[in-house]
Amino acid sequence: MVEPARFPITLTVNGMPHSVTVEPRRTLLDCLRDDLVYPGTHVGCEHGVCGCCNVIVDGALVRSCLMLAVQADGADVETIEGVGTEDELSPIQEAFCAKHAMQCGYCTPGMVMTLEDLLRGNPQPTEAELVDAVSGNLCRCTGYQQILQAARSVIADNAAKAGQA
């Protein structure tokens, strides 16, 4: 058997440009975790159901296990490592801590990326829109109650701010 061919790609992750050579079968998830070492994006099911690997690619929420790395050539990728900082968490991250919207933390990065994506485009979604968005991510620990509580608290803050403006 011969060694598989590799292709060079360039992509930006959290504002940082990267050049890397990948096999065409390699997923964006593999590339982010193993080649570029962004381990906050988690491996869950590797078939696009659980949402643990959600990242934002060119402004759209993506299952990084279902996207090939070569498809991300030239893309602008945002991972959990690009959301908030040690000293200043994003409002969603802050709310997740306040409501304890997690237990083991494994689904959390994907869940945060889903809500970042939702609330950036639509700061005051309806309850149905919120549940619809969160239902794209599995969580085995929380039963979703505290996740939804956290999200609702951010949405309420957004509404209050919009009311003041």
Partner 1 sequence: MTGTRSRYRYVGRPMPVIEDRRFVRGRGRYINDLAMPAMLHLAVVPAPVAHARLLGVDAAEALASPGVVAVLTGADLVEMMEPVPQELALPEVIWYPLAVDKIRYAGEWVAAVVATSRAAAEDAVELVVIDFDELEPLVDPRRAMRPDAALLHEAQGTNVVWNERHTWGDVDGEFASADHVYEYSYRWNRHSGVPLETFGAIAQVDQTGILEIWASHQNPDIQQEAVRVMRTPKVKVHMDIDIGGSYGSKRGRKQMYLTAAAAIRARRPVKFMEDRIENMQAGDGHGPDRYYTVKVAASAEGMVRALDIDVIEDLGAYCGRGPRQITKPTSAVVGPYRIPAVRYGGYGVLTCKTNQVPFRGAGQSPHNFAIERTMDLLARDLGIDRVELRLRNYIQPEQFPYEIPGGAIYDSGNYPGAAELAIKQARFEDLLAEQAEARAAGRLYGIGTAGGIEPGGAAAEHGEGVRIEVDATGHVVATIGFQSAGQAHESMVTQLVCEELGVEIEDVIVQRGHGLGGIYAGAPTGSRMTQMLGTSIYQCAKKVRAKLTAIAAFTLEVEPDEIEIDGTTYRVAADPAKAMTWKQLAKTAYGPRLKNPPGMEPGIVELNVYAGPDIVTKRKLTTGAKQFPTYAFDFHVVVAEVDPDTCEITLRKYLVVHDCGTVLNPLVVDGFVYGGIGHGIGGAMYENFAYDENGQLLAVSFMDYLMPTAAEVPTVELHEQCTPTPLHPYGAKGAAEGAYMTAPAAIASAIEDAVAPLGVRITEVPITPQLIFDSMMAARSNA
* Cβ nearer to partner 1, comparing 108 with 153: 108
Rounded CA separation 4/112 (Å): 35
* Cβ nearer to partner 1, comparing 45 with 162: 45
User: Pairing relation of β-strands 7-13 and 76-78?
Assistant: parallel
DSSP summary character for residue 165: -
Report the nearest approach of partner 1 to the CB of residue 157 (Å).
17
Which of 72, 73, 29 has its CA nearest to residue 50?
29
* Cβ nearer to partner 1, comparing 2 with 165: 2
Q: Counting beta carbons within 10 angstroms of the beta carbon of residue 122, is it exposed (0 to 12), middle (13 to 18) or buried (19 or more)?
A: middle
Q: Print the binding letters for residues 86-115 with partner 1: x by CB under 8 A, - otherwise.
A: x--x---x--xxxxxxxxxxxxxx--x---
Report the nearest approach of partner 1 to the CB of residue 58 (Å).
20
Give residues 126-155 in contact with partner 1 (rule: CB under 8 A).
131-132, 134-148
CB 50 within 8 A of CB 138: yes
Question: Which among 1-9, 69-77, 117-125, 154-162 is the span making contact with partner 1, rule CB under 8 A?
Answer: 1-9
* Cβ nearer to partner 1, comparing 96 with 119: 96
Which of 72, 35, 27, 76 has its CA nearest to residue 53?
27
Give residues 3-32 in contact with partner 1 (rule: CB under 8 A).
3, 23, 25-26
**Angle CA(81)–CA(92)–CA(159) in degrees, nearest 5?**
145
Task: Give residues in contact with partner 1 (CB under 8 A).
Answer: 1-3, 23, 25-26, 33, 38-47, 49-50, 52, 79-81, 83-84, 86, 89, 93, 96-109, 112, 131-132, 134-148
